[in-house]
Amino acid sequence: MNRTLPIAALTALLGLPSASAAVLFSDNFDRADDRNIDASLTGIVDVTGSAFAGDDVYTQPWLDPNNAAPTYGVQDATPGNGGGARILSNTLQLAVGSGTSNAFINHNFTDTSLRGGFSVTIDIGSYGGTSNDFGGGFAIGMALSDALNAGDSWNATQKFQDGFPGAQNAVTDVSIASFWMLLRGDNTVIWGTSGNALSDGPVDTGRLGLANVSAKTGTLTAVFSAFTDFNAGTEVGFEVFYDGNSLGTGSFNWASTDANYIGLDARDGTSVTFDNFAIETVPEPSALGLAGLSASMLLRRRR
């Protein structure tokens, strides 16, 4: 079920120019149940030019080997080697069974069309955990070599994000992403950048923000703007949202040059449900005709 309205449609509602606002990639996961998450391209919209084939849309660097190609079997009961993944009831589930799992799109999102700004949206559905050690979210700005070697979302030396602060997570276990955002089981949203973000107390190297929200499920959106290139060190402005409500703004720097792989990450004891994954361009402020017309104003038109 699509609960969100794309940025492109929001600009149309406001009567604003839409040429610079478009879906570049989306996946509503509305396809047959399968432990191979992209056995079919049904539900996927790809305007990246990558010409994805079936079984080629996502790479899953941390996945239970029993669940991996070529057998795509049922995950084992050993958390240390990763959890499973599957399409079930027109949703994506990660961290299935014992252990965590992740997935990233096989496209480097450094497209020229994104230099005016872009957004990432994902719906986080049901999962069992009720503490800040559980939940799911997304990560952007990853180098391919780092993404391919990313591990357990809780305690790997390198992982997509560093927002689960459990006892096994050490200060040497860091995020590889330039930016990440999680919705957790204690009804909190946390977002950060590359480095360490262990604490829910004072801000650590890689933590940019933390907010209490109404539920452990909902829609996460981040809108990125005010950057000129994808060079390491370039500053990127952002605004983050939960269910269309702004949680905060800020900036970060690209961690690597021309490295913008985007993926999903999860931790739970049963599974974390994802839906309506979308990467979209957004209008430049000049296209909106008013620099002060913020992304939050656009997103609030969803309700």
Residue range 133-155, pLDDT digits in tens = 999 999 999 999 999 999 999 99
Confidence class of residue 8 from pLDDT cuts 50, 70 and 90?
very low
Task: State the pTM of this model.
Answer: 0.89
CA distances from 211 to 112, 181, 207, 291 (A): 32, 11, 12, 26
pLDDT at 21: 66
Confidence class of residue 156 from pLDDT cuts 50, 70 and 90?
very high
Phi-psi region of 96 (alpha: psi -120 to 50; beta: other; left: phi over 0): beta
**Angle ∠(138,275,207) on CA atoms, nearest 5:** 20
Residue 256 maps to a domain:
yes
Residue 2 maps to a domain:
no
Q: Is the pLDDT of residue 267 over 90?
A: yes
Average pLDDT in the 22-36 region? 97
Average pLDDT in the 249-265 region? 97
Residues for the chain: how many in total? 303
Residue 237 maps to a domain:
yes
CA distances from 194 to 143, 177, 204, 208 (A): 12, 5, 11, 10
User: Over pLDDT 70: what percentage of the chain?
Assistant: 86
pLDDT at 205: 84
**163/199 Cα distance (integer angstroms):** 8
Q: Is the pLDDT of residue 80 over 70?
A: yes
Lowest average pLDDT, out of 136-140, 273-277, 283-287, goes to 283-287
pLDDT in tens, 37-73: 999 999 999 999 999 998 999 999 999 999 999 999 9
Contacts of 87 (CB under 8 A, 6+ apart): 29, 31, 32, 33, 34, 35, 37, 39, 93
Longest dimension (CA), the chain: 55
Residue 1 maps to a domain:
no
pLDDT at 197: 82
Query: Of the spans 13-17, 86-90, 224-228, which averages the highest pLDDT?
Result: 86-90
Residue 137 maps to a domain:
yes
Looking at every residue in the chain, the average pLDDT score rounds to: 88
* Mode of pairing for the β-strands spanning 158-159 and 174-175: parallel
Average pLDDT in the 246-263 region? 97
Q: Is the pLDDT of residue 185 over 50?
A: yes
Q: Is the pLDDT of residue 284 over 70?
A: no
Residues spanned by the domain of 46: 7-300
Residue whose tokens read 């990560």: 139
More confident residue, 12 or 146: 146
Residue 184 maps to a domain:
yes
Residue 212 maps to a domain:
yes
pLDDT at 75: 95
The total domain count for the chain is 1
Residue 19 maps to a domain:
yes
pLDDT in tens, 199-250: 787 778 889 999 999 999 999 999 999 899 999 999 999 999 999 999 999 9
CA distances from 81 to 7, 62, 104, 297 (A): 38, 8, 18, 43
Provide the CATH number for the domain around residue 268. 2.60.120.200
Lowest average pLDDT, out of 36-50, 162-176, 253-267, goes to 162-176
Average pLDDT in the 100-121 region? 95
